[in-house]
Amino acid sequence: MNTVLNFSKSISKELQQIKEKVFASERITEEECLLLFKEADLPFLGVLANHINEVRHQNKVYFNRNFHIEPTNVCIFSCNFCSYSKLYAQREDGWELSTEQMLDIVKKYDDQPVTEVHIVGGVHPKLTIEFFADLLRKIKKHRPHLHIKGFTAVELDYMFRKAKMTIAEGLSFLQQAGLDSLPGGGAEIFHSEIREKICDDKVDAEGWLQIHETAHSLNMHSNATMLYGHIESYRHRVDHMRQLRTLQDKTKGFNTFIPLKFRNKDNDMHTVDESTIVEDMKMYAVARIFLDNFPHIKAYWPMLGRQQAQLSLSFGVNDMDGTIDDTTKIYSMAGAEEQHPSMTTDELVTLIKQANRHPIERDTLYGIVKDYSN
Ligand code: V47
Ligand code: SF4
- The predicted pLDDT at position 217 comes to 98
Distance CA 110, CA 113 (A): 8
Q: Are 320 and 309 in contact (CB under 8 A)?
A: yes
% of the chain residues with pLDDT over 90: 82
Q: What pLDDT, on the 0 to 100 scale, is given for residue 345?
A: 86
Residue pair 203/154 in contact (Cβ under 8 Å)? The answer is yes
Q: Is the pLDDT of residue 1 over 50?
A: no
Which helix (H) or strand (E) segment is 50 a member of?
helix 42-57
- The answer to whether residue 46 is domain-embedded is no
Contact 186, 208 (CB under 8 A): yes
Q: Specify the amino acid at residue 264.
A: N
In a domain, 262, yes or no: yes
Asked if residue 2 has pLDDT above 50, the reply is: no
**Confidence class for position 332, pLDDT limits 50, 70, 90:** low
Inside any domain, residue 352: yes
- Nearest C-alpha neighbor of 232 from the set 269, 281, 258: 269
Which domain covers residue 307, as residue numbers? Answer: 56-371
Tell whether ligand 2 has an atom less than 6 A from the beta carbon of residue 269.
no
Q: What is the pLDDT of residue 3?
A: 46
Provide, rounded to the nearest whole percent, the portion of the chain with pLDDT above 70. 91
Total structural domains within the chain: 1
Ligand nearest to the CA of 260: 1
**Is residue 24 domain-resident?**
no
Distance between CA 37 and CA 286 in Å, rounded? 7
* 325 Cβ neighbours under 8 A, 6+ residues apart: 66, 67, 342
pLDDT for the residue numbered 184:
98
From the CA of 185, how far away is ligand 1's center (Å)? 5
**What is the mean pLDDT of the segment spanning 221-244?**
98
> From ligand 1's centre to the CA of 330, what distance in Å?
7
- Assess if residue 157 is contained within a domain: yes
pLDDT for 243:
98
Q: Residues enclosing ligand 1, CB less than 6 A?
A: 81-83, 120, 152, 183-186, 188, 223, 225, 227, 258, 260, 262-263, 267, 300, 303, 321, 330, 334
Q: What is the mean pLDDT of residues 265-269?
A: 89
In the three-class reduction of DSSP (H, G, I as helix; E, B as strand; rest coil), residue 368 is classed as: strand
Ligand at shortest distance from the CA of 76: 2
pLDDT bracket for residue 10 (50, 70, 90): confident
pTM (predicted TM-score): 0.95
C-alpha of residue 196 to centroid of ligand 1, in Å: 18
Question: In this structure, is residue 12 part of a structural domain?
Answer: no
State the distance from the centre of ligand 2 to the C-alpha of 201, rounded, in angstroms. 10
- Quick check: 283 pLDDT over 70? yes
> Any idea what the CATH number is for the domain that residue 212 is in?
3.20.20.70
Q: What is the pLDDT of the chain when averaged over all its residues? A: 92
Query: Are 288 and 51 a contacting pair, CB within 8 Å?
Result: no
Among 40-44, 253-257, 340-344, 364-368, the range scoring the smallest mean pLDDT is 340-344
* 6 has pLDDT over 80: no
224 belongs to a structural domain: yes
Beta-carbon contacts of 361 under 8 Å, excluding residues fewer than 6 positions away, are 62, 63, 64, 65, 345, 368, 369, 370, 371, 372
23 within domain boundaries? no
Per-residue model confidence (pLDDT) at position 321 = 87
Ligand 2 pocket member 122 (CB < 6 A): yes
How confident is the model over 47-88, as pLDDT tens digits? 999 999 999 999 999 999 999 999 999 999 999 999 877 655
Listed range (83-87, 188-192, 266-270, 284-288) with the worst mean pLDDT: 83-87
Residue 325 has pLDDT above 80, yes or no: no
